[in-house]
Amino acid sequence: MNPPCPFCNLPADRILAADGPCLAFSDGFPVSEGHTLIIPRRHVASFRDLSPDEWAAAHRLARILAARHQAADPSITGFNFGANDGE
């Protein structure tokens, strides 16, 4: 039996945006202000398993959220993007 997915039942107030097959939400344990996770709705073992549509949706969400953060705080001059894959 697989362990329960920590992302399947996110509280609505943590979801920041959605784009078809992907959604973005605030990290439960942020390392910096605005720390956001973007994930596919579909369970995948690796980011290499994402479909082209999922990749495109994730990139659109990253651009939307970066613009949103910068509009809220024009002093922001950069962003860090990372990917975790595996244990």
**pLDDT per position as a tens digit, 53-74:** 999 999 999 999 999 999 999 9
- Residue 84 located in a structural domain: no
Domain that holds residue 37: 14-72
- Residue 85 located in a structural domain: no
What pLDDT is stored for residue 1 in this prediction? 55
| DSSP class of 65 | H
What pLDDT is stored for residue 64 in this prediction? 96
Token couple for 44: 């995948």
What pLDDT is stored for residue 38 in this prediction? 97
Using CA atoms, how far apart are residues 4 and 73, in angstroms rounded to an integer?
A: 36
Q: What is the pLDDT along the chain (87 residues), one digit of tens a residue?
A: 577 888 998 999 999 999 999 999 999 999 988 899 999 999 998 999 999 999 999 999 999 999 999 999 999 999 999 988 877
Contact criterion met (CB below 8 Å) for 26 and 35:
yes
Contact criterion met (CB below 8 Å) for 31 and 52:
no
- Residue 67 located in a structural domain: yes
pTM assigned to the model: 0.88
Structural domains counted in the chain = 1
- Residue 55 located in a structural domain: yes
8's enclosing H/E stretch is none
